[in-house]
Amino acid sequence: MLVLVLGLSSVGSFAQDIVVEELPIATISDVYYVTLPDAPVEEYYYIDISHLDFEDEQEAVYLLGAYVTGNLITNEVFYSENYMIVQIHFEYVDGPISLEDLQAYLGILSKPPTE
């Protein structure tokens, strides 16, 4: 039970101190390709997911977890509010990372096949 409580508290703390309205805005395509704004790389980004067609919250969390998560990036989905927050994990990068390198990394994350 203690492990469950600790796990849930760490998930809730992901965006606890973040002011969503102040985050830089990134976008996501229908094939889950994330595009960052042309600005210095930040730790957190706001992404509107209202245009993505999910059956329910479980599917949104699953698909966004599968296609927008990697060694350097995690996300938290706020399904009922139609957005997610993406976190870039600078602690796993040796030195500064450029916007171009981070965008290239986001481009190689697995994507669903296009029709």
pLDDT tens, 30-78? 999 999 999 999 999 999 999 999 999 999 999 999 999 999 999 999 9
Structure token pair of residue 98: 């450029």
State percent of the chain over pLDDT 90: 71
Task: Express each pLDDT in 73-97 by its tens digit.
Answer: 999 999 999 999 999 999 988 888 9
pLDDT higher than 70, residue 2: no
φ/ψ (deg, to 5) at 46: -95, 135
**Where residue 4 falls among pLDDT bands split at 50, 70, 90?**
very low
Decide which of 8 and 37 is more confident. Answer: 37
pTM for the full predicted model: 0.83
Strand partners, 76: 85
pLDDT at position 7 = 40
Q: How far apart are CA 111 and CA 32, in angstroms?
A: 6
Q: Are 74 and 44 in contact (CB under 8 A)?
A: no
Neighbouring residues of 73: CB distance < 8 A, sequence distance ≥ 6: 86, 87, 88, 89, 105, 106, 109
Which one has a higher pLDDT value, 106 or 112?
106
Phi, psi of 29 (to 5 degrees): -85, 175
